[in-house]
Amino acid sequence: MKHILVFLVLLITTSVVGQDNDITSNLYETYNKYKEPTISKRRIKHKDLQPLIAKLKSNSKYTVKKVGRSIEGRDLTLISIGSGKTNVFLWSQMHGDEPTATQAIFDIFNFFNSPDFLEEKEAILSNVTLHFLPMLNPDGAEKFTRRNALGVDMNRDAVSLQSPESQTLKRIRDSLNADFGFNLHDQSTYYNAEHTDKPATISYLAPAYNYEKDINEVRANAMKVIVFMNSIIQKYAPGQVGRYDDAFEPRAFGDNIQKWGTSAILIESGGYKNDKEKQEIRRLNYVSILSAIYSIAKENYKSITIDDYEKIPENDRKLFDLKIIGATYNLLNHDYKIDLGINLLEMDNDTHSSYYNIAKVMDQGDLSTYYGYNTFDASGYKIVEGKVYPKTFKSVDDISNIDVFELLKSGYTYLQIDELPKNKKDTSIPINLIKTGYKVPKLVLMPGANSTFLLQKGNTIEFAVINGFPINLKTKESHFKNALIYK
């Protein structure tokens, strides 16, 4: 009898997922039709959203209300659509530098504004009322920083409510008495799904509401929706889903919202290879959130077992942008084998509208339990310190006709320039630029060191690593972004 019941549960779950997979596939395949083109970069600002919100305000399908103000005086806006009895509340960018879901929310509005998917949209909007609060922390978004203007991490302000933005979030949650809450974030791109080399492209959590981590109906419903969303992501990013540890944090919004009776679902957008602006991850947010909303509207999630929730691998943090294995490194006239883990740290420009990378060695030694977005087996290669090219150039324009790759092959990784751009710290030329007379420090590989060196096999320099970007000097193949300017 027990085996029959297990079979029936599996059959029902498979049937539910199968029913919703049709809309999921269609959403994924047609996504570019609804992607909002005006916010295609991560460093979006409050002002970028206002024309989009104004369009929604003029659309009778939506209710658009100013519900609060940030510390620096930027409006917080609640956008609602639908007439169903189930209230679903979604808020994004509680942390100002976590914008992926904010972008996806405006893609979702474009979906609802289109003449397509009429049957599915009717099913959603007649059964569910959706409430969106995008960019909860616009002051942080202005500077692309996690905390708000008060320096508070709002995800630790659910109890004291010291920030006006936190007060707004609590008031809206209470006024809606929302059945479901989607807490939308970004996480580090260096998280991986535990025991795998796969990035945790999306991570989930149904937060605990007490220290005992009890599971009541409210939390179980969140788990069921997460199991469903995981099944969706596995189709498009197999093995790239993680799960946060559910230790209770009494100050956190997710944990308290769960305690207050709203099924809280944390979604964290992580990393995806060669997707620095997280646009594929944005697409996965769009697909999985809309599919989850559809499942809630149809109440299909109720038939899903929570057993598969714990089977989602936990988040780990063992990824590097570049992992170099088994390179030979000479130190004090002795050769050593060494692994290097290198990350490309983002440094914002003055207006926080773009960034350049500074590469740092994050770890070295035996890195056999770590992984890389890019992994290079340097067995048989020797790490060689780059040299300064002896000729001096007057300006950057004077090097436009120089074959940089030939210089790299000859062992040069720095060019001397008399007149460097005043406010520029990076260059798109794949070689570092230095002010004439600047003394380049000797290469000493240690955690924290910049990652510029050459890889030599025999007597031939075959690869250059310029500011952490590996360049194949035979084929010129690379995903190079920038070198650095030193003055």
pLDDT in tens, 407-430: 999 999 999 999 999 989 999 999
pLDDT band for position 23 (cuts 50, 70, 90) = confident
DSSP character for 59? S
Within 8 A by CB and 6+ apart from 27, the residues are: 111, 286, 287, 290, 291
Q: Which residues of 77-96 are buried (b: 16+ CB within 10 A; e: fewer)?
A: bbbbbbebebbbbbbbbbbb
Query: At residue 178, does pLDDT exceed 60?
Result: yes
Is the CA virtual torsion 174, 176, 180, 182 positive or negative? Answer: negative
Express each pLDDT in 350-399 by its tens digit. 999 999 999 999 999 999 999 999 999 999 999 999 999 999 999 999 99
Q: Do 79 and 43 fall within a single domain?
A: yes
User: pLDDT at position 20, please?
Assistant: 61
Same domain flag for 450 and 326: yes
**Which pLDDT does position 10 carry in this prediction?**
40
Verify that 332 and 304 share a domain, yes or no.
no
Q: Is the pLDDT at 18 greater than 80, yes or no?
A: no
Q: Decide: helix, strand or coil at residue 237.
A: coil
* Range of the structural domain that residue 425 is part of: 319-486
118 and 255 belong to one structural domain: yes
Alpha carbons 64 and 49: distance in angstroms, whole number? 13
Q: Are residues 134 and 254 in the same domain?
A: yes
Task: Name 47's Cβ contacts closer than 8 Å, sequence gap at least 6.
Answer: none
Q: Note whether residue 7 is domain-resident.
A: no
- Give, for 405, the enclosing helix (H) or strand (E): helix 404-409
420 lies in some domain? yes
Final residue belonging to a domain, choices 316, 341, 364? 316
pLDDT category of residue 5 using cuts at 50, 70 and 90: very low
Asked whether residue 343 falls in the same domain as residue 417, the answer is: yes
Residue 226 predicted with pLDDT over 50? yes
Segment 240-252, tens digit of pLDDT: 999 999 999 999 9
Whether 157 and 163 have beta carbons less than 8 Å apart is answered as yes
Segment 452-473 shows an average pLDDT of: 98
Nearest alpha carbon to residue 125 among 297, 302, 301:
297
Q: Is residue 292 part of a domain?
A: yes
Phi, psi (deg, nearest 5) at residue 103: -60, -45
pTM of the model: 0.93
pLDDT of 453 > 60? The answer is yes
- Point out the domain boundary residue: 260, 295, 316: 316
Structural domain ending residue among the three candidates 257, 286, 316: 316
Q: Is residue 6 part of a domain?
A: no
Q: Is residue 1 part of a domain?
A: no
What band does 3 get if pLDDT is binned at 50, 70 and 90? very low
Does residue 56 have a pLDDT over 50?
Answer: yes
Same domain for 111 and 197, yes or no, is yes
User: Residues 61-92: pLDDT tens digits?
Assistant: 999 999 999 999 999 999 999 999 999 999 99
| Closest CA relative to residue 337, chosen from 412, 445, 458 | 445
When pLDDT is averaged across residues 6-22 and rounded to a whole number, the result is 47
pLDDT category, 128, cuts 50, 70, 90? Answer: very high
399 found inside a domain: yes
pLDDT at 53: 98
Range 295-313 average pLDDT: 97
Which of 191, 276, 182, 274 minimizes the C-alpha distance to 229?
182
Domain match, 281 and 311 both: yes
Torsion of CA 272, 275, 276, 279, to 10 degrees: -110
Residue 65 lies in a domain: yes
76, 60: one domain: yes
User: What was the pLDDT predicted at 8?
Assistant: 36
One domain, residues 368 and 336: yes
Rg of the chain over Cα atoms, rounded to whole angstroms, equals: 25
Residue 4 within any structural domain of the chain: no
Do 72 and 210 fall into the same domain? yes
Which CATH number do you get for residue 151?
3.40.630.10
The distance of Cα 53 from the centroid of its chain, to the nearest Å, equals: 24
User: What confidence tier does 22 reach under pLDDT thresholds 50, 70, 90?
Assistant: confident
Residue 163 has pLDDT above 70, yes or no: yes
Domains contained in the chain, number: 2
Asked if 113 contacts 59 with a C-beta cutoff of 8 angstroms, the reply is: yes
75 burial class (0-12, 13-18, 19+ CB within 10 angstroms)? middle
- If asked whether residues 306 and 324 sit together in one domain, one would say no
